[in-house]
Each structure stands twice: as structure tokens, then as C-alpha cells.
Amino acid sequence: MGKGSGYGKVILFGEHFVVHGNPGIVSAIDSTTDAEVKKAAKGITVRDERKTAKGYSEEKRLQQLESIQNMLRAMGVDPKIALDIWIGGSLPGFSGLGASAASSVAIARAIAHELNMKISEEKINAVAYEAEKAYAGNPSGIDNTAATYGGLMWFKKNMSGGQDLVERLSIEEPVEIVIGSTGKVANTKAMVEGVAERKNRDPQKYNKVFQRAEELCYEGRAALEFFSLKKVGELMNENHRLLQEIEVSSKELDLLVDAAKKEGAYGAKLTGGGGGGCMFALTPGKELQAKVASAFKTAGFEYLMTRIGIET
Ligand code: MEV
């Protein structure tokens, strides 16, 4: 049996903007999607045992099958191969946590393992990027890169199709965060397309927002490297406001962001494609983390307590 894993992630700065060539900062979290793959007699079956938001697996089913086909093609494996695929692990199937990319990396690794293929990490990342196209349409590559390599990183898509810029960042020590889930399954592809359409329609407004988003990323990087967590939080708050301006936030995401700030979180923003899915709050220290998590619970939302900047 072949086995593999991929990391979940949160985006500290720059989702959506990265699709258009802006930089982004992403951190893996210590939750993974795990996959097991076995050669079978007939067809491809997927047993998805991840804990998910209601309706997540059903909604993503077709995209998941398409992603596996993309993956097999990119790996040079006959798409008619028969495989039994199992996915599970500690990363919940909530939109915004890179669950699709984590599952693609896990499945690609498990297929390679089962078929005794020697595959480099770069190739796994490239295969997962092809798989991501089924979920995100025109992905930047930030999610599959985080899912493959883990860690904290600076990412900039190469808009001419060449090698993306990926730099590892390090911080003094890992920092506690709380991820809040709206419980709503989001369609990343539709969210990415929506931003591209609105950007085309109103370039003046969008260019300004995109420019500020880029500056924020550089300021965020410096704040992380100086370990100025208050500053990181302020910049995250501003990043969330920019995401509201490009219309990818939602009522529930804003509610969770406000609730976290009210409890003393240093900053809070949506993560990933938005339109539902997840947000996260920067909550250094276990006490603040527990306080924010408890506020989410009281408000009736699911949450995940984890850390950014972990060594992977
Ligand atoms: C999704 O986690 C992040 C987006 O920027 C899409 C992408 O970069 O591929 C919304």
C-alpha cells in the first residue's frame, strides 16, 4: 500500500492578489491530510474520511475526480489505472485551509509510493499544481507549494510560466493561532474568477488595492522577521479590509474576525478564497488562544487551535 501526506496552511498575507503576480506569505499548520492508495481491480474509488464542513465532500466530489485525472496525467500514469484511494488525517475539510492541495499532495505521494515511482519533491509540487487547477481554475500555486514543503514561506508566482519564487522565512518561535470555520463550503474557482472579472471592470480601484496589498506583504515580512507580533496583527487586519474591498469576505467571516479582535486577538483575517470557508486570528500564548477559541465556540462556530511558523 502507498502512503503520503500533505500540509494544511493559512495565508498570512496576499491571497487572491498572488494569483495576479503579487507576493504572498503562507504558513503550513501542523495538521495534514493523509492518503493511502492500493492498486485495485476496477476504476478509481475514493473513500474520504476527513472531518469536513457539512456538504464539503459532496460539493468537491467532481473537482476531486477531475483533480485525480490531472494528477495521473502529470505523473505519466495511465488514467485508466484502477486504484482504491483513502483520505483522512488531522486537517479538516474546511475551505480556506488548503485542504484540496493537501489532499492532492498526499494522493500524489501515495500513488508514487504504490507504483514504486521515484519522484522528486519538485515533481510532487508540480503534479499537485495540475491537480489544483480542478479546484481553483487558475491557481497561483501557493497552496500546493505550502502543502508540499511545509514551513513559513514567501511566494511569488512566475507570471511567464517559469519557476515561482519561493523563499523560506523563519520566525523566533511558532505562534498560536485560532482558525474559525464559517461552516460554509466555498468554491475557490468561482471566487478567483470573480476577482479577475471585477479587476477587469474597475482597474483603477483594483490597481490601488493590489498595490497596497503588495506593500502590506513586504511590511508583513519585516514584522515577522522582527517578531513584532502586534504589527503583524495590525497588518493582517488591514489585509482583511482589502479582501473586503475586493468582495471576497462574507458576513460570517467578518463576524468571526470582529469576535476575535474583541477578545484581544492581535489581528484576524480570512484565509484562502473567502466567500465562506475560514478565517484565523493571531493569538500569541495559550491563554489568549483559548479565550478566542471559546468565543468562537460560544458563537456556534467550529475552530482549530494550531500554530504558524512550525518547523516541518
Ligand atoms: C486559495 O487558498 C488562495 C487563492 O489566492 C487562490 C490561489 O492562490 O490559487 C484564493
- Shared domain for 143 and 85, answered yes or no, is yes
Q: Whose CA is nearest to atom 10 of ligand 1?
A: 273
The pLDDT tens digits of the residues spanning 208-226 come to: 999 999 999 999 999 999 9
Angle between helices 286-298 and 251-262 (to 10 degrees): 140
Query: For 255, phi and psi rounded to 5 degrees?
Result: -60, -45
Residue 203 has pLDDT above 90, yes or no: yes
Ligand 1 centre distance from Cα of residue 41 (Å): 36
Q: Which domain holds residue 59?
A: 2-169
Terminal-residue alpha carbon distance, the chain: 24
The pLDDT tens digits of the residues spanning 232-267 come to: 999 999 999 999 999 999 999 999 999 999 999 999
Reading the block at residue 13, the C-alpha cell is 498575507
What distance in Å separates the CA atoms of residue 133 and residue 63, rounded to the nearest whole number? 9
128 lines ligand 1 (CB under 6 A): no
Task: Kindly state the average pLDDT of the residues 169-175.
Answer: 96
Helix (H) or strand (E) holding 184: none
Q: Whose CA is nearest to atom 3 of ligand 1?
A: 272
CB neighbours (10 Å) of residue 290?
15
97 lines ligand 1 (CB under 6 A): no
Angstrom CA distances, 174 to 23, 27, 28, 107, stand at 22, 10, 11, 28
The pLDDT tens digits of the residues spanning 263-296 come to: 999 999 999 999 999 999 999 999 999 999 999 9
Angstrom CA distances, 67 to 51, 107, 127, 133, 220, stand at 20, 10, 10, 7, 33
State how many domains the chain has: 2
Q: Which residue among 119, 137, 169 closes a domain? A: 169
Task: Kindly state the average pLDDT of the residues 19-27.
Answer: 98
Q: Whose CA is nearest to atom 1 of ligand 1?
A: 272
Residue 312 has pLDDT above 90, yes or no: no
Residues 6+ apart with CB under 8 A from 124: 105, 108, 109, 112, 148
Mutation pick for ligand 1 pocket among 17, 19, 105, 153 (CB with most ligand atoms within 8 Å): 19
Q: Whose CA is nearest to atom 2 of ligand 1?
A: 272
- Shared domain for 164 and 179, answered yes or no, is no
Which ligand 1 atom minimizes the distance to the CA of 143?
2
Q: Which residue among 145, 169, 193 closes a domain? A: 169
- Shared domain for 149 and 290, answered yes or no, is no
Catalytic residue numbers? 143
- Shared domain for 205 and 266, answered yes or no, is yes
CATH number at residue 126: 3.30.230.10
Residue 2 has pLDDT above 90, yes or no: yes
- Shared domain for 226 and 114, answered yes or no, is no
- Shared domain for 181 and 157, answered yes or no, is no
- Shared domain for 192 and 302, answered yes or no, is yes
Q: Which residue among 141, 169, 197 closes a domain? A: 169
Residues 6+ apart with CB under 8 A from 214: 17, 22, 23
Q: Whose CA is nearest to atom 9 of ligand 1?
A: 139
Please report, as a single letter, which amino acid is at residue 155.
F
142 lines ligand 1 (CB under 6 A): yes
Helix (H) or strand (E) holding 4: strand 2-13
Mutation pick for ligand 1 pocket among 130, 138, 166, 188 (CB with most ligand atoms within 8 Å): 188
Which ligand 1 atom minimizes the distance to the CA of 195?
10
- Shared domain for 31 and 157, answered yes or no, is yes
What distance in Å separates the CA atoms of residue 246 and residue 231, rounded to the nearest whole number? 23
The pLDDT tens digits of the residues spanning 100-132 come to: 999 999 999 999 999 999 999 999 999 999 999
- Shared domain for 149 and 211, answered yes or no, is no
192 lines ligand 1 (CB under 6 A): yes
Residue 60 has pLDDT above 90, yes or no: no
Task: Kindly state the average pLDDT of the residues 30-38.
Answer: 96
Tell how strand 152-156 and strand 44-48 pair up. unpaired
